Amino acid sequence: MALLTCHIYSSTLQRNTEIFVVIPTPEGDEQITDKTTVEQYHYTAGLPVLYLLHGAYGDASSWIRNSCIERYAQQHRCCAVTASCGNNFYQDMEHGDRYETFFTEELPSLIQTLFPVSRERKDTCIAGFSMGGYGAWFLALRHPQLYAKAASMSGALDIARTYRQVKNKTIGGPFPWDQIFHTPEQLEGSSFDLLTLYQNCRKAGTIPDLYQTCGTEDFLYHMNLDIRDKLRSMGSEHIYTEGPGGHDWNYWDHHIQTIMEWMFSPGKS
């Protein structure tokens, strides 16, 4: 596989930023002998692409440093892309950067222009953990025409509840709420609320396939259960899984493998 570190100027963010791109190599798994290899696919057809979102305190390098995403991208013959969002929930901030626009417009355009990836919705997926779990569902439900599948691991999926818990110091968080949102006290039922976005997608008749997983020892476990139940009451048939584990890379690195199997293996839905 090839790992590329790209320093680009973003006209959306109006500054230089760093992205990481994993491109699988044609011969398949890393070769340790001189045995002749056979090309397994054609770049000209366009590779499936997975956008990976980091959590709070992280950046574009989080997935590269803490997971085996290079091997998994090679295994599934897909391109994996990471970029930074700070601690800003992948929003076009009220006072700050336009991350939603960057991730849904500028970044895909750049990736599709520079790398051998598909432009088709059916080949485009997004996933994230913690803040990035919310971000993956938020971007997919706000822009259902872009993503076929979206996965959240240990996601802060109830944005209004997350705001209250951080403000009450029930949980920690570095989020500049007043800079991100116009009225953070009114997030419930707003266009930032995932349940509201899901209802909008249902009415429009286009819903990305959703995957949700959380560790049973995770501090966001009960939030995830509540969101699961509320979505099911709305008629959602999204995949939900759980298992032993906390809010850490042991859980995320393990479960991203299952998620990528769901996203990219024939017959999975």
Tell me which residue of 173, 175, 166, 151 sits closest to 260, measured CA to CA. 151
Question: Does 269 fall in a domain?
Answer: no
Residue 35 falls within a domain, yes or no? no
Contact 111, 81 (CB under 8 A): yes
Is there a domain that residue 56 lies in?
Answer: yes
Give the pLDDT confidence score for residue 40 in this predicted structure.
Answer: 61
pLDDT digits (tens, 9 = 90+) for 18-38: 999 999 987 656 555 555 566
Token pair listed for 98:
């336009």
H helical segments located in 60-126: 62-66, 69-76, 99-101, 107-114
Is residue 105 classed as helix, strand or coil in its secondary structure? helix
At 35 the pLDDT is 59
Q: How far is CA 254 from CA 203, 245, 248, 260, in A?
A: 35, 10, 10, 11
**pLDDT at residue 30, rounded to an integer:** 56
Q: Answer yes or no: is 50 within a domain.
A: yes
| pTM, two decimal places | 0.95
Contact (CB, 8 A) for 158 and 224: no
In angstroms, rounded to a whole number, what is the distance separating the alpha carbons of residues 180 and 98? 10
CA 4 to chain centre: 19
What three-state secondary structure class fits 37? Answer: coil
Question: Does residue 250 sit within a domain?
Answer: yes
Nearest to 192 by CA among 59, 99, 62: 99
Residue 161: CATH number of its domain: 3.40.50.1820
Q: Could you tell me if 101 and 12 are in contact, meaning their C-beta atoms sit under 8 angstroms apart?
A: yes
- Report the pLDDT value the prediction gives residue 139, as an integer from 0 to 100: 98
**DSSP-based three-state secondary structure for 87:** coil
Amino acid 94 reads E
Number of domains in the chain: 1
Nearest to 131 by CA among 185, 191, 178, 91: 91
Domain housing 180:
2-29+40-264
- Residue 141 domain-assigned (yes or no): yes
Pairing mode, if any, of strands 49-53 and 124-129? parallel
> Position of tokens 């803490």?
66
Residue environment code for 32-52, b if the CB has 16+ CB neighbours within 10 A, otherwise e = eeeeeeeeeeeeeebbbbbbb
* pLDDT < 70: residue spans in the chain: 27-42, 267-269
For residue 34, tell me if it sits in a domain: no
Alpha carbons within 13 A on the beta-carbon side of 146: 23
In 154-237, where do the E strands start and end? 209-215
In this structure, what DSSP letter does residue 130 have?
Answer: T
Within a domain: residue 251? yes
Determine the pLDDT at residue 269.
55
